[in-house]
Structures are given as structure tokens and as C-alpha cells.
Chain A
Amino acid sequence: MTDRARAAQVATRTGPVGADIMANRAVRGAADIARGAGPARHYSWLMARDPLLSVTEKGIYCPEGDFFIDPWAPVPRALITHGHADHARPGHAAYLATRAAAPVMRHRLGEIALDTVGYGEARTIGGVTVSFHPAGHVPGSAQIRVERGGEVWVVSGDYKTVPDGLSEPFEPVKCHAFVSECTFGLPVFKWADQAEVMGEVNRWWAGNRAAGRFTLLGAYALGKAQRLLSGLDPGIGPILTHGAVEATNAVMRAQGIALPETVQVTPEIDLKAHAGALVLAPPSALAGPWARRFRPASTGFASGWMALRGVRRRRAADRGFVLSDHADWAGLNAAIAATGAEKVLVTHGYTSVFRRWLESRGYDATIVETEFEGESLEAGEGAA
């Protein structure tokens, strides 16, 4: 898409939000309207004074610090919540992320000007103070807190509230306005305990091995794959990996994250010597010719979408395991309540339903149109 086309698209998409705000301003007072012109292309969120964050055609923007958070077009300065492709994009002049997120970002984006901070460490940028707090999504993932004179906004990035044994556990951060994802923002999404799900995966693998079958497990190469690895029982048999998974494994091992032993699948690999192995690969690889060498095999996927029987059946996999790196319905509601925020801005997922739900619970809730993608079933390496 050309920049102009993108700008036009964003302009139309954010139109109603902008109109909404103008209406709100009229209620709040004439002084705001007089001051509210601002940069013409900004569709600002409402606060009593100039908003701390607004959304532009390039991403979530902090005018007073002159930086963007997870922008989707090249900008001079980007604060990045985590290394997934829809949040950490190439082309920015300067990046800031957590130390734990840095190795994966360098691996994915190559030579970038990347500055790092530890969790909870405060930085002053322009007129605001920023800090990064664990989001529990994948190792290194963060919520970004922005403060100006006691007014606090938090951008959640992607998050989940239950510990996965690998990522730094989610920490609620008190704030006035919370920008929250809602990928699984419907009450039909409720995650079972990770230990329970991994028990199912291990039993399935052991059963396949006993029946002389390979076990093909599809999951994102970054995050989900390592989470599965750390829950697999290596006593059952050998674990083989697709190159995309193994590359991320290497990055994480180098930063001190313990993972069980894995063998990368290469054209020369002796499959007879790895009979009954579990093969971990991105979902896209399982659909293609790459996976055909493993026969006979039972195929499974691990994703939050597997909670829906229709999705499981349409994937034509033998098994679907409900495991997501995003918060479920209860997790989203608990996280939002824990922030103490009155204002919630919802991004990727069932935004219109979730916004209406929050409003009915007394929140001042708005939809923010972003280009984040949530947990897609189709993409191999993409958003998560």
C-alpha cells in the first residue's frame, strides 16, 4: 500500500472516532475547542487537557515526548512493547525496548538503533516519564507506562495475566487511561490451566509414539513454540524443530532461557533415528510440502482459537489445544479492573462488542483503530 493510500484509509477509519471526540469536546467546554485544533492530522483522545497519547496514521503517538508506541509506519523514535511482527516493524530511526526483548528484535530486524531498559526503570523523554512493565505475553514483552505530572496512561501491547513459566509474569499497573488489546474479548473464551493443557499434549504425543506415528504440532515460532517446549516432557521422545522455530530457540537460549534439547529438521536428517518424535513448526509449514516427510503422523495446533469446535474442525487437524498468549475474557476484565483506570481504549479483537461491554460496566470506553493483528491462525510468522 502506498503511504497516501494508507493515510486515506486511516483517515476514513478514524473518522467516526474523531467526530465522537469533537462532540465530547463541545460538552466539555469552549476553551477546549479553541485549544483543540492541534496538528491537523491527529484524531485525539479526550482528556481534560491535551491528551497524553493520540493515534495518527503512523501509530500511537505521544506529542509531549515526540515518540510512537509500536508504530506501523517508519518514525524517528519508536517504543516497542514486544518483538512480534505487527508490533516491532522495520524502518524506525531509533528503537527503545526491554533488555529481554532486544535479542529477538535484533534477530528479526537486523541492524537497528536499539536502546534498552530494564523492567520498571524510569526514563524521561521530553516532558514525560516512561517505563516498561511485564505483560506476560512472550519473554521480554512489556506494557508501556507514560506519565505526565501525575496523569498516567498505559499501553498494554499484547498481554496475558496467567504465568506461563517462561515470560516475566504480568504486572498490573495503576493508571488513568489503559490502552488494552481484546483479541479474545468475548465471554466464550476461557483458558484452562497450562499444566492441564500440556498434560493433554504430552499424552497425545505418548499415544502417537506408541502407535508408531510422528506428532506434528503447529504453533508460532516466536513465543508459543518455546512455551510449548518448556512444557513438553522430553522423556517421551526426541523433539524436532522447523528452522524458524529453531532460530528463535537459539536466540532465547543465548539470553539464558532454559529450553529442552531440540534437533532442527534438515534435508539430511535421518527420520528413522527419530521415530515417534514430536515436530514443532509454524502452522503454515504444517500445511505445506515440508511436513510431508513425516509419515504417518498425527497433527495438532495450539492456539486460543482452538476453543471453538468449528475452527478445530475446519483446520482438519487431529487435535486442537487451547493455548493462547493473549488474555481470555476473565483475564481482560481482571486486568482492566486492576489498573483502576476509568478510561479504556480497546485495540485489536472484538473491539465493538468489548467496548459496549465496558461501557455497560461504567467505563469510559473507546475503540482505537490500529494495525495490530491479534492471534491469527493463518499467519506463520506474523502477528501474535
Chain B
Amino acid sequence: MKRFARLFTSLDQTTRTTAKVDALAAYFSEAPAADRLWTIALLSGRRPRRAVTTTRLREWAAERAGLPLWLFEECYPVVGDLAETIALVLPPAASASKATLAERMAEIRALATVDEPERKARILNAWDSLDGTERFLFNKLITGGFRVGVSQKLMTRALAQATGQDEAELAHRLMGDWRPETTSYHALIEAPDPAADLSRPYPFYLAYQLEDGPEGLGAPEDWLAEHKWDGIRGQLIVRGAEHFVWSRGEELMTDRFPELAAARDFLPPGTVLDGEILAWAGDRPLAFNALQKRLGRKSVPRKLLEEAPVVLKAYDLLEEGGADTRALPFAERRARLEALLADLPAGLPLRLSPLIAFDTWDSLAETRAASRGLGAEGVMLKRRASPYLAGRKKGDWWKWKVDPLSVDAVMVYAQAGHGRRANLYTDFTFAVWDGAALVPFTKAYSGLTDAEFRQITAWVRKNTLQRFGPVRQVTPQHVFEIAFEGIQESSRHKSGLALRFPRMARWRHDKPAAEANTLDDLRLLLQRYG
């Protein structure tokens, strides 16, 4: 595991992309195959499940370090990370372990199968044979929290560099439902691509956010536009007699959306569609929380199927008749997609996401402005001539979202952050007026500069009305503009509504608390856009 710890350290201590790729490529060239496989698995989010509760870990770590538990607990907010706190307080390792990453991973998986006293003995044993970074990584792995600042794209590039294989081909191999426990490095990376792997999806092509309007993109006739739906990006695969549904997070979601099984009867084998999965009723999508209820369930009860039926709004064709079509121009793929879906019976959950007709950027801007009324969050622009690339690439695909909604709200509660931010107030609760009362309706913790956080922290300390544990109620004085992407009804909140992606857009030094928005203002937004 030493080699893996060295790799982690070099990835962790640089922000330079090339340095990260070089470190990874060097590792992939020299590490044993089983370690390479586990590294690929870990860096693509295939983490083992948590093997032990954090409560037990804290107790065992404090005990091993000879510290009272309260002192251990005081360290945690300063460090801001449990795995690191444990690694730091434990005494130095008594011996050095020679176990490889793969061997260590086997031990970690076995932890779940033994009883607690045995689990404790094994964890204490591991702590005693691992040094700083190894110990930290071990803790991350047994708590299920392993993460490193390397995208799958960078890892794939490094793997291509180390193996001499094509990067896109590797990206394709790494997708799908494989587990490091059930495959080998050879089977995953080197063996001839098994055509049998019917479920394997294509890497998604992701759009960039268009910041300054479309005028810079050139002639409107080079572009096609669609609505930008606020659902779940999905890939529908029909191969052989089976179908598969993949999310963008590379999660196989076939069973969550039984409606889409209809695809097997209406699409020819060897078809792969890219589109948006939405909860849909009549001619428009349902609120996002309807879809969210579906996402929360592995199997769907009949009642929910009726309340929140889903459709796939398809907008791209990645495979036709078993042939990869991604290199074709988008206009051509789109034409084939339209032909493929043209004769489907109405009422099927497979639908074409319509193109938006426009001659000028101005007319497209009008459609965009009307997006919320259609249940969309803006428009997508795709260059007619563009191939379907892998990952987020600039130039051919753009999302042009509507401006966020916003309200001016009064800060009423403040709570300190974590780690080095433990001494700053960074988490706030905001309220709007309901008559003479202030009703809390959302929390927000991002959007201010460090200097502003310091300023508000000093103010919070002097203007605390009451304390509730770590939360301070403050004088209702400061007004912030809260921006958000959507609003929906919620019975869990006192205000009766919930926001999507709320953040502090601006500190309104210019506005007194009395001039903040009201609950009625929010209800109006809910009626219009909820």
C-alpha cells in the first residue's frame, strides 16, 4: 500500500494537471496488476462500503491513543476530517506493513464479515502497522469516504499514456457495471473487448455553460437548439433482447424506471439513445421532487408509478443497428433519431425532445426567456456538424440557462463551519416577512468572499440573541440576495416551500431588513414556477 500512498500524496500535493497525469501514468506502469485494478476502481468511485461505524472508530482511536474521548472530539473540528484526525492522534506505527493495496482491500472487505471484537482487533492491528498517509487512506477506505482530486477523464488519459491504448476505447471499457472483486485488470483493460458486454454505455458528452449569450457562437444556422430539461441525464441501451438505463453518474438505473422496458418492443436491437429522464404529466414535466421520489426507490410501488410516471425525452442517437454513430455530425444523428422514433405509438414513454425553430439569436433568446413556463431551465445549443465527444469539452455543446430566481431575505441564524473554518460563521438561515413575523425558509452557506465571511463572523459574535447548541440566533438586520434554481412545495418546511440550489448572491448592505421580500412573494414564485 506504500506505493498507493505515494501516488495519493503526489496527486494531493499538486494542482497541476500534467503532474497528476504523469504520477498516475508512472504508477500504472510499475504497480502490480491487482493494485492497478483497485486503483482504477477507487478513482472511478467504486469504493467499498463503510465497514465500521464512526462512533466505534472514534472510541477505538481515542483508546489506542490514550486520550479521553472528549479530547479526541475537540480535535475533530480543528482537523475537519475524521480519518485524518484518527491518523494524527494515533501513536507511531510499531512495524511497517508490506501488504499491497489489493491485499489491504481484501482485508477491508472482510471486516464486514466478522464480529465486532474481531473487527476492532483487526483495525487496531492495521493502525499499528501503517504510517501517516497509509493510515489516513486506510481510515478513508474503511469509512467509505475515499476521494481524490482526479477526474475519471484524467485517470483514463494516464492509463492511455501508460498502456499505449486509445483513450476513448479505455473510457468505454471503464464504464459499466464492473466490480474489482469480480474482474481482473487483464479482463477489464487488455482482453479483447467482449461483445458480450451488452450493458456497456458510452461516456456522456457534457455541455459547457454559456456565460455571455450566443452571439459569439457565429451564424445561427450552424446550430440546433433544444429545451434544457431539469431531469436526470440518461442513456437507454437496447441490445440483444435486453435493455439498460444508465445515469450520468454511471449508475445502472434500469429497475428504477420499469416504464422504459417498452423500448425492447419498439426499438431494434443495437440502439442507444441519449436523453433526459423526466417525471411527466400531460404536456409538461412534473416538479423535480416528483422525479426525486422515484430516484429514492430501487423498486417502484404501483402508486408512485401512477403519481410520477417517467418518460425519456431523447435527443441523440449513439448507436444504430449495432454501429457506433458518434462520429457522425449531430444533424445527421438527429435526423436518424427522428426517423427511428417517428412511427412510435403515442403514449409510449419514449419521446423526441423537440427542436426549437429559430432564425436569429434574438428569437432564441425569447424562447429561452419563456423556458420556466414550459418546465425547462433554459435552452441547449448544439453545433450541427459536431460529433458526440466524451466528457465536458468546450466548443460544440452549450447550455444557456435562464437567470436564477432570487429574493432578498434576512439572516436570522448562523452556524460555524468546519475545519479551519470552525472559527468562522459560514452557514446561515434566512427568513422572509409574513406580516410582522420573520419566517425562516432556506439555508445557504456559499457565495460570500472570505473577507465577507470574516466580517459577518465578527458581527455575529456581537449580535447573538440566543444560542441553541452550535447555532446562534442573531439580530435580524442583514439582508442577502438569495439566488436559486427552482422552488417547490414542501411539507417538511415551516414556510411550506423549498428551494433548489440556494446560495448567497449578494450582501445587500443597501437594504434595511424591513425591505426584504415576503412569504407572499415566494408563494407567487411557487405558483408561477413550482
Question: Which A residues form the contact surface with B (CB < 8 A)?
Answer: 186-190, 307-314, 316, 318-320, 350, 353, 356-357, 360
Number of B residues contacting the other chain (C-beta, 8 Å)?
24
What would 13 more interface pairs be, CB under 8 Å, given A310-B81, A318-B16, A356-B70? A187-B67, A188-B75, A188-B79, A190-B88, A308-B78, A308-B79, A308-B419, A309-B84, A311-B420, A312-B13, A319-B13, A353-B71, A353-B74
B79 and A310 contact, CB distance less than 8 A: yes
Would you give the shortest CB distance from B209 to chain A, in whole angstroms?
23
Query: Can you give 8 contacting A-B residue pairs, CB < 8 Å?
Result: A187-B75, A188-B88, A189-B88, A308-B78, A309-B136, A310-B79, A318-B15, A350-B74
The distance in angstroms between the C-alpha atoms of A326 and B14, with both chains bound, is 27
Closest to B66 in A: A187
With A187-B67, A310-B420 known as contacts, the answer to whether A318 contacts B13 (CB < 8 A) is yes
CB B76 to nearest CB in A, in angstroms, measures: 9
Q: Is B12 touching A187 in the complex (CB atoms < 8 A)?
A: no
**Chain B hits for A316, CB < 8 A:** 15
**Bound form: Cα–Cα A353–B74 in Å:** 7
In angstroms, Cα B74 to Cα A319, docked, is 27
In the complex, are the beta carbons of A310 and B74 less than 8 A apart?
A: no
Residues of B within 8 A of A190 (CB): 88
CB of A240, distance to nearest CB on chain B (Å): 23
With A187-B67, A188-B89 already in contact, the answer to whether A310 and B14 are too (CB < 8 A) is no
Partner of B68, one of A309, A313, A360: A360
Q: Please measure, in the bound complex, the distance between the C-alpha atom of A314 and the C-alpha atom of B16, giving whole angstroms.
A: 15
Whether the Cβ atoms of B420 and A186 lie closer than 8 Å is no
| 6 nearest A-B pairs in the assembled complex, by CB-CB distance | A188-B88, A310-B419, A353-B74, A310-B80, A188-B75, A187-B89
Q: Which residue of A lies closest to B72 (CB)?
A: A187
Once bound together, how far apart are the Cα atoms of A137 and B387, in whole Å?
A: 64
CB–CB A318/B14 < 8 A: yes
A320 to B84, CA, bound (A): 16
Bound-state Cα–Cα, A350 to B76, Å: 13
Residues of chain B with a CB closer than 8 A to A360's CB: 68
Smallest Cβ distance from B451 to chain A, in angstroms? 12
Per the bound structure, the CA–CA distance linking A4 and B78 in Å amounts to 34
**B74 and A309 form a contact (CB under 8 A):** no
Q: Is B85 an interface residue (CB 8 A)?
A: yes
**Chain A residues near B497 (CB-CB < 8 A):** none
Interface string of B78-116 (1 = CB under 8 A from A): 111100110011000000000000000000000000000
- The smallest C-beta distance from B13 to any residue of chain A, in angstroms, reads 6
B65 within 8 A of A: yes
Alpha-carbon separation in the docked complex, A313 to B80 (Å): 12
Question: In angstroms, how far is the closest chain B Cβ from the Cβ of A32?
Answer: 33
Q: With A and B bound together, what is the CA distance between A9 and B67 in angstroms?
A: 35
How many angstroms from the CA of A307 to the CA of B81 in the assembled complex? 13
A262 CA to B289 CA, complexed, in Å: 64
Contact check, B74 vs A308: say whether CB atoms are below 8 A apart: no
Q: Please indicate the chain B residues that have their CB under 8 angstroms from the CB of A307 in the complex.
A: 88
For B133, the closest partner residue in chain A by CB is A309
Q: How far is the CB of B199 from chain A (nearest CB, A)?
A: 37
Q: When chains A and B are docked, how far (Å) is the Cα of A137 from the Cα of B84?
A: 28
